[in-house]
């Protein structure tokens, strides 16, 4: 495992998204990184594996983006978040379940009025309808990936700042895809899934 302090950084671009990649013996390669962090797809997912190697140990330590959707499925969504030093995600309540896995940094979670310190390696589950807030209390960005079930954001969402994300939500430009909000029965009728007989 590495930290940003022990690695040399070089710019890496996936148009229009820019990242800093660590040059470390244990870092993921550019090829692996670009394959894993490809641009989000607005269409329903294909029936194939989506693989994110070393997700908990090799996320970019400073992607420069507050929120980036990595994958949207029929019943879940994977989102990468970077909370800047002194920043927060905003006090909010979702109508969907959310599980957050922290990969670097330190912060404070407030869930339904209860405070909990969080750090790399921690997992926090926020049930639908529960008030929550996460604040970066450390000297480095607080990096996490979160899984919403079902999706909470548009499949192509990339917000460089919290303010940009808040604005997109307020303007109705960050709504989950209709196909990601359907029931199992509706998806079966639409031919998107078929269970075993």
Compute the distance between CA of residue 86 and CA of residue 23 in angstroms, rounded to an integer: 27
Task: State mean pLDDT over 39-43.
Answer: 77
Band the pLDDT of 46: cuts 50, 70, 90: confident
DSSP state of 51: -
Q: Which residues contact 184 (CB under 8 A, 6 or more apart)?
A: 75, 193
Average pLDDT over residues 64-93: 94
How much is the average pLDDT of 46-65? 75
Give the pLDDT score at 58: 62
The answer on pLDDT for 36 being more than 50 is: no
Distance CA 105, CA 131 (A): 22
| Contacts for 16 with CB less than 8 Å, ≥ 6 apart | none
Domains of the chain and CATH, by start: 7-38 (no CATH), 59-177 (2.60.120.10)
Considering the chain, what percentage of its residues have pLDDT values greater than 70? Answer: 77
Residues 129-146 have pLDDT tens digits of: 999 999 999 999 999 999
């Amino acid at each position: 495992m590495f930290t940003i302090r022990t690695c040399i950084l070089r710019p890496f671009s996936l148009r229009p998204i820019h990242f800093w990649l660590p040059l470390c013996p244990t870092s993921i390669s550019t090829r692996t990184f670009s394959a894993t962090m490809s641009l989000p797809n607005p269409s329903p997912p294909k029936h194939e594996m989506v693989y994110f190697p070393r997700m908990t140990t090799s996320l970019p330590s400073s992607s420069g983006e507050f929120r980036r959707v990595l994958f949207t499925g029929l019943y879940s969504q994977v989102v990468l978040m970077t909370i800047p030093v002194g920043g927060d995600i905003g006090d909010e309540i979702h109508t969907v379940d959310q599980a957050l896995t922290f990969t670097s940094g330190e912060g404070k979670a407030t869930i339904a009025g209860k405070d909990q310190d969080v750090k790399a390696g921690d997992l926090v589950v926020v049930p639908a309808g529960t008030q929550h807030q996460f604040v970066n209390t450390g000297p480095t960005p607080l990096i996490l990936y979160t899984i919403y079930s079902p999706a909470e954001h548009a499949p192509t969402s990339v917000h460089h700042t919290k303010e940009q994300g808040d604005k997109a939500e307020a303007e109705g430009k960050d709504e989950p895809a209709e196909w990601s909000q359907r029931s199992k029965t509706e998806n079966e009728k639409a031919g998107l899934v078929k269970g075993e007989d």
